[in-house]
Structures are given as C-alpha cells and as structure tokens.
C-alpha cells in the first residue's frame, strides 16, 4: 500500500466504512449461488445426455459424429455469451446488479425448459437441431450476464476478510447444480429402458428448469442492492455523466491490462472446468470404452468430493492469499495432467478414480478462488461490465469449446492423451497470468470503501490505518 493510499484511508471515519449485515450477506450469497446452480444443472443434464441428444437430433451420423455434433451445439451457446455480457454488464452497472440478475434467471429457465419441448429429428426433420441450437443460443445469451453479475454481487456484499470464503459458495453452487443434474440423469438411465430415455425420458430434466427458475427468481427479487453499488449510486451525481464512466470501446482500451488478466485466469479456470464436467463423462465411455453408468458415477463422486474442497480453498485464500492457491493449481496441471490421464486410461477402476481425483483437486484451487479474484480486478462503476465481457469472451473461446476441440483432437489424432496436453497448455497460460497479479486478499475492492462485519471492527481498522500512517511519516522524516 502506498503512502498516498494510507494517508487517504487514515482520514476515514466509522461512517465511511461499510458494515455488512450478516443476514443480508447470507441471503445474497444464497441467491447468487442459486443462479449458478440453475445454470450448471442444465450443463450437468446436457453433458450426461450428450450421447442420447446426439442420437435424438442427429440420428444419421456415426457415433463419433453424433457426439461432436452434440458438443458443437453445446459450444455454440458460448459464442453468444460475450454478446450477453456486453448487453447485461452495462445494464448491471447502470441500473443495479439485483435487477439484471433477476432477469437473467428467468431467461435461463425459459431456454432450458424449451429444450424439453423440441420434437425429435424423426418427427420434424432438420427443424429439430435448428430449434435445439436456438434454445442453446438463448441460454448462452442469458448466461452471459449471469456469472459476472453473481460474482460481482457476492464480492460487493462480502467483508474484506471473508470475500474468498463467501465467493467460493458461488462455485459450490456450480458443483451442486451439476451434481443434481448428473444424479437425476444417472438415476433415470439406471431405471428406465434405453428406448424410454430416447422417446421421452431425456426431456424430464429440462422440464424441471421451470420450477427451479421461478424459485430462484422469487429469491432474487427479495434481495437488496449491494452496498458497494449503493455507495456508487450516491456518488453518481458527482460524475460528469449520469452513466458508467466508460463507453464499451473506452473500457476495452483503458482496462486492457486487467481484462487480459481476467481472460488468462478464466482460460485456466474453465478449460479445467469443462474438461472435467462436460467432456469427461463422454471421454470415459466413448474413448475409453467404459460402461455408461460407471463413467457417470465416477465423475459424480468426484464432483461430490470437490464441493467441500472448494469451500476449504476459499477459506484458506482469505488467510494466505489468492495467488499461491491459483499458482499451485496451474503448476499442478502442468506437472500432473499427463500422469492423471495415464491413470484414467489404465482401465483399472481404482486408478481411473485416482486420476480423476487429482484433476478434481487441482480444479478446486480455481473454483475456490476465482469468484473473489476476478471481481477484484475492476473498479466498482465498471465491474459488472468488465467482468462479464472478459469472463464470457474467455469462456466462449477457451471454455465451452473445450469438449468440442478435445473430442475433435482425439478423433483426428487417435491420441487419447490430447486432453492432457490441452490442460497443460491452459496451466502454462494460467501460471504466467498469476505472476502478473497483485494480491487482493483481505483488501477493499477497487473503488469501494473497506467492508467489515461490525462497528467494533471498523474502529479497529481506523486505528490500524492511523498507526500505519504514523509509521510511514516517521520513516520519511529527514535525518
């Protein structure tokens, strides 16, 4: 912290420090995480139904072509996510995080529900995959405003000392939603005959999006706006224009460095994420020849183990910092991706589980840290916009395309280790990005006042800042 920053902060009074109401914080975290749960419920369902969806909507193709076509439709939704980020991000910075997050919730639910309504290729021909693509594009557009808004919402509601732990609940919701969707599909595959799943069973998980979405909408509409955004709104009259300070092009130019850092971190985070969640079930069954039920169950168990580990890393980063944990995960991918895939490719169930467990453990280094790390890259008045654009641009290029690219690489090269090489590349990019970061743990968000849990903690913070200023002044006195 510079002398100027200490001097400025040491002039703070208790009224200048945000005291976070714990009940509001818990409600905010729950509501934000619920949207991620809803989004990843759909991803879990789609990933675990990828083979069946390929057979229903692309029946004339080979098994490999069906899988690639299914993942291609999955990836297409990510192409419009940056557009969603460009639309919803500025709206969130102008009108508030809570309103936009309520709208994205209902759009996600409608898109998912509509997939369940689409007739099969056998019924309406080429119109079936076209309608599937349209529904996926609607989902992609709405989710373009979801993660950036949810991460911003939790970060701005959290205290500086616990932002890592609170943010990790966002990814806890991700894993919970994926596990819920995957468990539902796995149970149906185990109980229903294959033809029943092909005829109507695959539709049921998508229909459940409607009640889940309505519940999430109700919860989000009950929330108050974040303290940081309220503070920003109070100061808006002092700005030159009654709108965010930067136009889109100005923001891309002025914020180019933090945006590049965001893209690098999200690349690391999401290649690991989608490789494990979206691609791995099909890799185990389609490439390695494992039974469908065994492959699904293995990934589900790994997801369950990852949930508490994500919270553990989030809590730990509030103590030791974000950079060491992210760096550890990136280095782990570089060194352990090939050994992990060798274990997975062995065919021995225990060794397959061990390989998946290593990849899952490494991924939690990112899932437990990114929800607090990414919002801290940007100032309050453009945080939603910048994070939504940077996050979704990276996801669309490197995250959602991971299942499609790796499936194509394996099919083209006939090398089952291609996913490991892909993850190693992501680890190298991530490690380089981490080295450029400034540590943000236990510090206020850029452009926001310090946030604490109690008035007593606010008084202690003021005393601490004044003592730091006194020591700095003493050190700089001339001899």
Q: How confident is the model at residue 5 (pLDDT cuts 50, 70, 90)?
A: very low
Q: How confident is the model at residue 357 (pLDDT cuts 50, 70, 90)?
A: very high
pLDDT digits (tens, 9 = 90+) for 172-188: 998 999 889 888 988 89
Task: Calculate mean pLDDT across residues 112-116.
Answer: 91
Q: Is residue 425 included in any domain, yes or no?
A: yes
Q: What is the pLDDT of residue 239?
A: 53
Q: Positive or negative CA dihedral for 199, 202, 206, 208?
A: positive
Of 42-46, 336-340, 378-382, give the lowest mean pLDDT range: 42-46
Helix (H, G, I), strand (E, B) or coil at 447: coil
Q: Which tops the pLDDT comparison, 8 or 30?
A: 30
Q: Taking a C-beta distance cutoff of 8 angstroms, is the pair 150, 35 a contact?
A: yes
Asked if pLDDT for residue 204 goes beyond 70, the answer is yes
pLDDT digits (tens, 9 = 90+) for 393-450: 998 888 877 877 888 888 899 898 999 999 999 999 999 999 999 999 999 999 888 9
Q: Taking a C-beta distance cutoff of 8 angstroms, is the pair 217, 106 a contact?
A: yes
Task: Calculate mean pLDDT across residues 62-89.
Answer: 82
Q: Is residue 240 included in any domain, yes or no?
A: no
Task: Calculate mean pLDDT across residues 462-472.
Answer: 72
Q: Give the whole-angstrom CA distance, residue 340 versus residue 354.
A: 8
Asked if pLDDT for residue 472 goes beyond 70, the answer is no
**Secondary structure letter of residue 61 according to DSSP:** S
Tally of domains within the chain: 1
Q: Is residue 241 included in any domain, yes or no?
A: no
Q: Which tops the pLDDT comparison, 410 or 367?
A: 367
Task: Calculate mean pLDDT across residues 121-138.
Answer: 89
Q: Give the whole-angstrom CA distance, residue 263 versus residue 268.
A: 9
Asked if pLDDT for residue 206 goes beyond 80, the answer is yes
Burial, 13: exposed, middle or buried (Cβ in 10 Å; 0-12, 13-18, 19+)? exposed
Calculate ∠ Cα 40-307-222, nearest 5°.
Answer: 55
Q: Is residue 438 included in any domain, yes or no?
A: yes
Q: Give the whole-angstrom CA distance, residue 107 versus residue 38.
A: 11
pTM for this predicted structure: 0.87
The enclosing domain of 154 has a CATH number of: 1.20.1250.20
Q: What is the pLDDT of residue 300?
A: 85
**Secondary structure letter of residue 15 according to DSSP:** G
Task: Calculate mean pLDDT across residues 132-139.
Answer: 89
- Other residues' Cβ atoms within 10 Å of the Cβ of residue 96: 21
Q: Taking a C-beta distance cutoff of 8 angstroms, is the pair 36, 146 a contact?
A: yes
Q: Is residue 243 included in any domain, yes or no?
A: no
Q: Which of 477, 456, 400 is nearest to 140 (CA)?
A: 400
Asked if pLDDT for residue 65 goes beyond 90, the answer is no
Q: Is residue 242 included in any domain, yes or no?
A: no
Task: Calculate mean pLDDT across residues 295-323.
Answer: 93
pLDDT digits (tens, 9 = 90+) for 93-111: 988 898 899 899 888 889 8
Task: Calculate mean pLDDT across residues 313-332.
Answer: 97
Q: What is the pLDDT of residue 352?
A: 93
Q: What is the pLDDT of residue 7?
A: 41
Q: Is residue 449 included in any domain, yes or no?
A: yes
Q: At 398, which helix (H) or strand (E)? A: none
Q: How confident is the model at residue 367 (pLDDT cuts 50, 70, 90)?
A: very high
Task: Calculate mean pLDDT across residues 262-280.
Answer: 91
Q: Is residue 479 included in any domain, yes or no?
A: no
Q: Give the whole-angstrom CA distance, residue 183 versus residue 186.
A: 5
State which residues form the domain around 410.
7-225+252-474
Task: Calculate mean pLDDT across residues 374-385.
Answer: 92
Q: Taking a C-beta distance cutoff of 8 angstroms, is the pair 434, 327 a contact?
A: yes
Asked if pLDDT for residue 4 goes beyond 60, the answer is no
Q: Taking a C-beta distance cutoff of 8 angstroms, is the pair 65, 58 a contact?
A: yes
Q: Give the whole-angstrom CA distance, residue 400 versus residue 275.
A: 9
What mean pLDDT, rounded, does the chain reach?
86
């Amino acid at each position: 912290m510079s002398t100027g920053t200490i001097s400025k902060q040491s002039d703070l009074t208790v009224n200048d420090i945000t005291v976070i109401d714990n009940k509001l914080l818990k409600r905010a975290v729950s509501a934000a995480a619920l949207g991620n749960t809803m989004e990843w419920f759909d991803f879990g369902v789609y990933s675990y139904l990828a083979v069946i969806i390929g057979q229903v909507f692309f029946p004339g193709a080979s098994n490999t072509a069906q899988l690639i076509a299914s993942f291609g439709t999955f990836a297409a939704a990510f192409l419009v996510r940056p557009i969603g980020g460009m639309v919803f991000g500025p709206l969130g910075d102008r009108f508030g995080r809570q309103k936009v997050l309520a709208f994205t919730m209902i759009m996600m639910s409608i898109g998912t529900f509509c997939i369940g309504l689409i007739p099969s290729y056998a019924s309406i021909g080429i119109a079936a995959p076209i309608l599937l693509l349209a529904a996926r594009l609607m989902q992609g557009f709405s989710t373009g405003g979801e993660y950036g808004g949810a991460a911003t919402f939790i970060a701005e509601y959290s205290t500086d000392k616990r932002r890592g732990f609170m943010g990790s609940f966002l990814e806890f919701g991700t894993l919970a939603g994926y596990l819920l969707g995957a468990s539902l599909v796995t149970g149906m595959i185990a109980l229903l005959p294959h033809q029943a799943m092909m005829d109507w069973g695959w539709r049921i998980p998508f229909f459940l999006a409607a009640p889940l979405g309505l519940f999430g909408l109700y919860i989000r509409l009950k929330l108050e706006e974040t303290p940081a955004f309220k503070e920003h709104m109070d100061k808006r009259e002092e700005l030159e224009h009654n709108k965010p300070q930067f136009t889109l092009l100005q923001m891309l130019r002025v914020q180019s460095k933090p945006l590049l850092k965001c893209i690098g971190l999200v690349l690391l985070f999401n290649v690991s994420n989608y490789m494990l969640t979206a691609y791995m079930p099909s890799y185990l069954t389609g490439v390695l020849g494992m039974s469908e039920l065994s492959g699904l169950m293995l990934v589900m168990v790994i997801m369950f183990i990852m949930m508490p580990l994500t919270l553990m890393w989030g809590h730990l980063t509030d103590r030791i910092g974000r950079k060491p944990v992210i760096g550890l995960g990136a280095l782990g991918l570089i060194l352990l991706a090939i050994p992990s895939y060798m274990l997975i490719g062995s065919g021995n169930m225990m060794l397959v589980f061990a390989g998946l467990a290593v990849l899952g453990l490494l991924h939690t280094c990112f899932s437990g840290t990114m929800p607090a790390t990414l919002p801290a890259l940007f100032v309050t008045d453009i945080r939603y916009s910048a994070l939504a654009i940077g996050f979704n641009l990276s996801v669309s290029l490197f995250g959602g395309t991971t299942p499609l690219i790796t499936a194509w690489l394996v099919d083209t090269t006939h090398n089952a280790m291609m996913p490991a090489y892909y993850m190693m590349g992501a680890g190298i990019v991530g490690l380089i990005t981490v080295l450029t970061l400034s540590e943000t743990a236990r510090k206020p968000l850029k452009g926001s006042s310090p946030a604490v849990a109690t008035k007593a903690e606010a008084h202690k913070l003021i005393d601490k800042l004044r003592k730091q200023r006194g020591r700095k002044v003493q050190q700089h006195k001339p001899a």
